[in-house]
Chains A and B, each alone.
Chain A
Amino acid sequence: SQQGEEDPQALSIQEGENATMNCSYKTSINNLQWYRQNSGRGLVHLILIRSNEREKHSGRLRVTLDTSKKSSSLLITASRAADTASYFCATSGGGRALTFGSGTRLQVQP
């Protein structure tokens, strides 16, 4: 079963706009990660935020974490057509496995 849920399930925007994806999870975590997956291919790690952090930046990516609400958001600024992909959040608890959400499909129109 999935640990969390991403919202929205699908998002379509124009190039240059910002894209925001949200993730909710159910249990306590050590860290939360975001991954990107181009259609039918492997996942690529984007960013990791630890449970004691509230915000983290990496290039055009900004991630926030609210452990009291068990939620995270991923913001992609100034989106490009090449950002079209599925985005997954994944949580790590006490074990070593990652538990993934169901993903947000982002379509960036040129």
Chain B
Amino acid sequence: DAGVTQSPTHLIKTRGQQVTLRCSPKSGHDTVSWYQQALGQGPQFIFQYYEEEERQRGNFPDRFSGHQFPNYSSELNVNALLLGDSALYLCASSSDRVTGELFFGEGSRLTVL
């Protein structure tokens, strides 16, 4: 049973560019959440997708957008990249029927130069 998979694992972009990160949830999960983790900090909630809609959003600008597909996989898009967007982006999946633990992928490490 595959867990949460994310791609790419590492990428380097320059300021002003756009990036798309991808996530496949754990089998049986229908909810995907995205978190940003700056170096030395705890993860911060970006948004959550359920039934192909953004259900909840954290304190992130509109440059951060997402999508969930019918197979429950998800994308995170970030436009007009800033140096401060450099971070580990974590995808977490869960089942809407179960309140509790999140299952995290290994993350995508984004470096903005």
Contacts and interface: CB of A to CB of B under 8 A. Distances in A.
Is B one of A's binding partners? yes
B103 A45 contact: yes
A99 B106 contact: no
B71 interface: no
A73 interface: no
Interface in B11-53: 31, 33, 35, 41-45, 48
A100 B99 CA distance: 17
A11 interface: no
Nearest to B46: A97
What is the interface residue range for chain B against chain A?
Answer: 20 to 34
Contacts of A44: 104
- For the complex of A and B, the 4 pairs showing the least CB-CB separation, nearest first, are A100-B42, A45-B101, A42-B104, A97-B45
B90 A96 contact: no
A33 interface: yes
A42 B105 contact: yes
Interface of B: 4, 31, 33, 35, 41-45, 48, 55-56, 58-59, 88, 90, 92, 99-107, 109
B55 A96 contact: yes
A43 B109 contact: no
B106 A100 contact: no
A84 B100 CA distance: 25
Contacts of B101: 33, 45, 48
